[in-house]
Amino acid sequence: MIKNKKSSEIFDKAQQYIPGGVNSPVRAFKSIGGKPFIVDKGTGAYLYDIDGNRFTDYVMSWGPLILGHAHKPVIEAITKAALKGSSFGASTKAELELAMIVNELMPWVEKLRTVSSGTEACMTAIRLARGATGRQLVVKFDGGYHGHSDAFLVKAGSGLATGGLPASGGVPEKVTEATLSLPYNDIEKVKQCFAEKGNDIAAVIVEPVAANMGVIPPTPGFLQGLRDLTREHKALLIFDEVITGFRVARGGAAELFDIKPDLVCLGKILGGGMPIGGVGGNADIMDYLAPEGPVYQAGTLSGNPLSTAAGIETLKSLDDHRVYTYLKQYTDDLTGEITSLFDKSDIDIRLSKVESLFTLFFAGHDIYDFDSVNKANMNMYSEFFTHMLNRGVYLPPSGYEAWFVSTAHQQEQLEYTINAIRTFIDGRPE
Ligand code: PLP
């Protein structure tokens, strides 16, 4: 068992001063139960809490830290930039440098506008799509997450073409009526939707690898189907690559699946652990943005010098295919061992993965969309999470999330993780 006296005290007090004690809901461990630990520091693949516990980290700040915590060159780049000033509200050369690196890694991203979060990137992308097409409707997929702006907080409408109902308090129905939510990986439903409303659809936004209902690969033909339908109906295809960008390949899922969207939303790795987001695409569409065009978007901290410094340093390190080979190998080894351990037990699992992105579902059925995820055994995931945390392995505190690895994850962490999983299986009643 881990010690948690100090974390518990801080979390209790935080609840007095911060809503729910946290600045982003999943950090509260609500779906898992128990109180969250309070972080002291991170190094490499490890997180340390203020009670002195060490955890092998499979959250890695939810994706940005592909090189591990406190990666020295990244920290040095941030420090160097900070010594020259932390924000100017005026342009720097580093912003150009970052846009040029992205263009090199994703050549179809001719222009990039950087913002401060993935939420802003997605919000801007649909405003741009609406501005460029003169249409209103946006199609998303059930279980897809595109940040917390109003238009995306839509409960899955029952079936096709029902105007979405807000999934959050405070979101006007008028706003979400223009968002249609369809089942992921079901191209027939998308076809039907376009047949009925094609002339009004501004864009389809999709996580090319779903990673916010756990990781779900696109079924063969799904992304190509979206590409074909959007082209045919003159709607834009937006890949939300906030997670997959620079993760599943240097050029993201667009490179991996060889499908070019019209716009891409970036974040996380783009800022190497500092706040950032980005929307990019070809010049014709991007130039609809102010000051060139009529679609307004702005930000006091956009292109922030600390974020651009961390992003540039991180992306430069990824300019080496060995990074991706390594991440995939670690993931294949880990998931392979997990699968063989559970295969010998009477616990059904499904390991869903794409390159170094994966999720372990406690389920005996195939996982391919949000409904199938909802049928997985999330109570068992909570039990598993708690067991692993108590043995010093920090997994995502929700069964609906991706696990993240970094280049700092080595054989030592892999073996440690596997041993902890073995004790979970061995400790369960027959
Ligand atoms: N899009 C995707 C696919 C995400 O996973 C996230 C966040 O996890 C976002 C958008 C929102 O990004 P941010 O949390 O930086 O606002």
pLDDT digits (tens, 9 = 90+) for 170-185: 888 888 899 999 999 9
DSSP string, 25-61: GGGG-TTT-SPPP-EEEEEBTEEEETTS-EEEESSGG
pLDDT of 314 reads 98
Structure tokens at 339: 């699968």
Ligand 1: distance of its center to the CA of 311 in Å? Answer: 16
Active site residue 268: yes
Q: What angle do CA 240, 246, 250 make, to 5 degrees?
A: 125
pLDDT of 165 reads 54
Q: Is the pLDDT of residue 403 over 60?
A: yes
Active site residue 240: yes
| Closest Cα to atom 14 of ligand 1 | 118
Q: How do strand 236-240 and strand 263-267 relate by DSSP bridges?
A: parallel
Per-residue model confidence as pLDDT tens digits over 39-57: 999 999 999 999 999 999 9
Q: Give the C-alpha distances (Å, rounded to integers) separating 56 from 42, 45, 180, 203, 388.
A: 10, 6, 39, 40, 10
Helix (H) or strand (E) holding 119: helix 118-133
| Closest Cα to atom 1 of ligand 1 | 146
Ligand 1: distance of its center to the CA of 407 in Å? Answer: 22
CB atoms within 10 A of CB 61: 14
- Tell me the mean pLDDT in the region 74-81: 98
Active site residue 324: no
Per-residue model confidence as pLDDT tens digits over 94-143: 999 999 999 999 999 999 999 999 999 999 999 999 999 999 999 999 99
Catalytic one among 49, 186, 240, 369? 240
pLDDT of 87 reads 97
DSSP string, 5-26: HHHHHHHHHHHHHSGGGSSSGG
- Tell me the mean pLDDT in the region 217-221: 98
Q: Which atom of ligand 1 is nearest to the CA of 267?
A: 15
Edge-first strand listing for the sheet containing 46-49: 39-43, 46-49, 54-57, 393-394
Report the distance separating Cα 10 and Cα 16, nearest Å: 10
- Tell me the mean pLDDT in the region 200-225: 97
> Which residue do the tokens 């997959």 mark?
244
Catalytic one among 46, 145, 184, 368? 145
Ligand 1: distance of its center to the CA of 275 in Å? Answer: 11
Q: What angle do CA 204, 205, 206 make, to 5 degrees?
A: 120
pLDDT of 319 reads 84
Q: What's the pTM? A: 0.96
C-beta pairs of 92-97 under 8 Å, 24+ apart in sequence? 92/303, 92/305, 92/308, 94/303, 94/305, 94/308, 94/309, 94/312, 95/303, 95/308, 97/308, 97/312
- Tell me the mean pLDDT in the region 1-20: 96
The tally of CA atoms less than 13 A away on the side-chain side of residue 42 is: 25
User: What's the one-letter identity of residue 376?
Assistant: A
> Which residue do the tokens 């997180």 mark?
47
Pocket test for ligand 1, best of 116, 145, 265 (most atoms within 8 A of CB): 145
Q: Is the pLDDT of residue 333 over 70?
A: yes
Per-residue model confidence as pLDDT tens digits over 252-299: 999 999 999 999 999 999 999 999 999 999 999 999 999 999 999 999
> Which residue do the tokens 């916010």 mark?
212
Residues 129, 192: contact at Cβ < 8 Å? no
Q: Is the pLDDT of residue 428 over 90?
A: no
pLDDT of 250 reads 96
Cα-Cα-Cα-Cα torsion 191, 193, 194, 197, nearest 10 degrees, comes to 160
pLDDT of 323 reads 95
Local confidence band at 163 (pLDDT 50, 70, 90 cut-offs) = very low
Q: Which atom of ligand 1 is nearest to the CA of 144?
A: 3
pLDDT of 189 reads 97
pLDDT of 166 reads 63
Residues 250, 318: contact at Cβ < 8 Å? yes
Asked, as a colleague might, if the bond just before 172 is cis with ω within 30 of 0, I would say no
Residues in contact with ligand 1 (CB, 6 Å cut-off): 62, 117-119, 122, 145-147, 207, 212, 240, 242-243, 267, 277
Pocket test for ligand 1, best of 59, 116, 122 (most atoms within 8 A of CB): 122
Helix (H) or strand (E) holding 178: none
Q: What is the mean pLDDT of the chain?
A: 94
Q: Is the pLDDT of residue 156 over 80?
A: no
pLDDT of 415 reads 98
CA torsion sign for 66, 411, 356, 387 is negative
Q: Is the pLDDT of residue 372 over 70?
A: yes
- Tell me the mean pLDDT in the region 28-37: 90
Cα-Cα-Cα-Cα torsion 374, 379, 380, 383, nearest 10 degrees, comes to 140
Widest pairwise Cα distance in the chain? 66
Alpha carbon of residue 55 to chain centroid? 21
190-194, 355-359, 425-429 — which is least confidently predicted?
425-429
Ligand 1: distance of its center to the CA of 119 in Å? Answer: 6
Kindly provide the b/e burial profile for residues 152-189, where b requires at least 16 CB atoms within 10 angstroms of the residue's own CB.
Answer: bbbebbeebeeebbbeeeebeeebbbbbbbbbbbbbeb
Ligand 1: distance of its center to the CA of 428 in Å? Answer: 36
